[in-house]
């Protein structure tokens, strides 16, 4: 199996089983109403426990009908004692995909694009021989388009990548067309619409389609049409290496080596995974999206509904769908993100009333370390379940897939 084609359903099943609340905790979570202070203390202790080597620091936000929490633990960088703050910004990686998909759905509502708009119609000559690939197939990863990130990683998994190579490839700029040309170095994965394969480059091409019909760069579109109306005041789609303010610094870690990624040129991800934001920003995005403040509710329904070859993987257009283990018959929606030196997770209920997001920096590049960090992530999410009922359910559900599937993925 190609490394970019994740067995999502297996990871989901295993993750949900591992995230079941202990009976005593489940009973206490549903007992007498809790105070906001007690809830914050529980989540803070779990976040503090997450931030043990190799994790450097973490930020987390939770929202429910009972209120909001924004917390942090650890340090902003492996090289400084400066603490992470609840409002520290971090690279949220592929959590970006739902934002780019939102812009695509906005253009569909405007009539400039359709889900069945093809590369050949919108970007003639971009990929000869694959002109029939549609926007919808790019957005739900059923196009079969290869991934430039896999080429950049020299076809090596995280456990095998030299950290010096990681540092070198993320510190230089890439154009969107260069990413497309890099992806062309690999063979097409499968015939469009017949299977599911996670491709960052698919989202780069979707970005080019949106830019072609609007005549405007994605960075400006996403700022005006997503960040501002959602109240994401510190979010940005970064196209270079500029660092603004108290930013969480990525780090790739192995037992005998820590590689600080002091310079990351986000152009390596472009519209697939280049957003930088606070955890609170991400929560506000999901609430605004699911409540119909960015696109119509009909478009939201389309985004969250897996179709065709994406259905077995629970993937809509930029959003995963998964069972809510705390609400029988319920479903949660979100996305995970795997940066070169960080990992993110975001999920929300369909009405947007319950949402959570977190990012940590200091990503383990060996199997045992990833397993240890996964257990600590699980503890954070279990703590979130002890918050007022609603937020609890949120965190646990998406985590099952996010951490299990995101251990090996970049983007």
pLDDT for the residue 102: 98
For tokens 């000869």, the residue is 128
Asked whether the beta carbons of 92 and 385 are under 8 A apart, the reply is: no
Give every CB contact of residue 356 below 8 A, 6+ residues apart in sequence: 60, 61, 62, 63, 283, 346, 347, 348, 384, 391, 394, 395, 398
Asked whether the beta carbons of 68 and 352 are under 8 A apart, the reply is: no
What domains lie within the chain, and their CATH numbers?
8-406 (3.40.710.10)
pLDDT value at 66 more than 60? yes
pLDDT in tens, 154-195: 999 999 999 999 999 999 999 999 999 999 999 999 999 999
**d(C-alpha 84, C-alpha 258), whole Å:** 19
Tell whether pTM > 0.85.
yes
Mean model confidence pLDDT for the chain: 86
Which range, of 28-32, 93-97, 142-146, averages the lowest pLDDT?
28-32
């Amino acid at each position: 199996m190609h490394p970019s084609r994740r067995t999502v359903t297996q990871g989901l099943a295993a993750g949900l089983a591992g995230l079941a609340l202990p009976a005593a905790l489940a009973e206490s979570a549903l007992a007498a109403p809790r105070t906001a202070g007690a809830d914050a203390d529980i989540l803070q202790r779990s976040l503090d426990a997450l931030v043990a080597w190799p994790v450097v620091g973490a930020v987390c936000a939770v929202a429910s009908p009972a209120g909001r929490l924004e917390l942090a633990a650890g340090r902003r960088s492996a090289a400084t004692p400066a603490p992470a703050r609840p409002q520290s910004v971090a690279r949220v990686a592929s959590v970006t995909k739902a934002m780019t998909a939102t812009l695509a759905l906005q253009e569909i509502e405007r009539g400039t694009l359709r889900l069945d708009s093809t590369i050949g119609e919108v970007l003639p000559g971009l990929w000869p021989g694959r002109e029939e690939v549609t926007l919808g197939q790019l957005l739900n990863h059923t196009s079969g388009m290869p991934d430039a990130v896999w080429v950049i990683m020299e076809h090596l998994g995280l456990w095998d990548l030299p950290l010096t190579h990681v540092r070198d490839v993320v510190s230089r700029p890439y154009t969107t067309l260069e990413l497309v040309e890099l992806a062309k170095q690999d063979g097409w994965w499968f015939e469009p619409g017949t299977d599911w394969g996670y491709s960052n480059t698919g989202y780069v091409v979707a970005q080019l389609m949106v830019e072609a019909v609007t005549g405007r760069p994605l960075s400006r579109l996403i700022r005006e049409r997503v960040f501002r109306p959602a109240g994401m005041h510190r979010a940005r789609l970064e196209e270079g290496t500029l660092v603004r303010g108290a930013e969480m610094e990525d780090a790739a870690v192995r037992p005998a080596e820590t590689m600080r990624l002091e310079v990351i040129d986000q152009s390596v991800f472009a519209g697939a995974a280049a957003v930088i934001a606070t955890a609170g920003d991400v929560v506000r995005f999901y609430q605004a999206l699911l409540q119909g403040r960015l696109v119509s509710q009909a478009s939201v329904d389309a985004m969250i509904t897996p179709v065709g070859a994406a259905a077995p993987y629970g993937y809509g257009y930029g959003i995963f769908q998964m069972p809510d283990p705390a609400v029988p018959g319920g479903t949660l929606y979100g996305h995970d993100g795997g940066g070169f030196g960080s990992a993110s997770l975001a999920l929300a209920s369909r009405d947007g009333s319950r949402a959570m997001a977190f990012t940590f920096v200091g990503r383990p590049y060996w199997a045992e370390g990833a397993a240890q960090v996964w257990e600590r992530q699980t503890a954070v999410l279990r703590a979130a379940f002890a918050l007022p009922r609603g937020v609890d359910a949120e965190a646990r559900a998406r985590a099952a897939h996010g951490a299990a599937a995101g251990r090996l993925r970049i983007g």
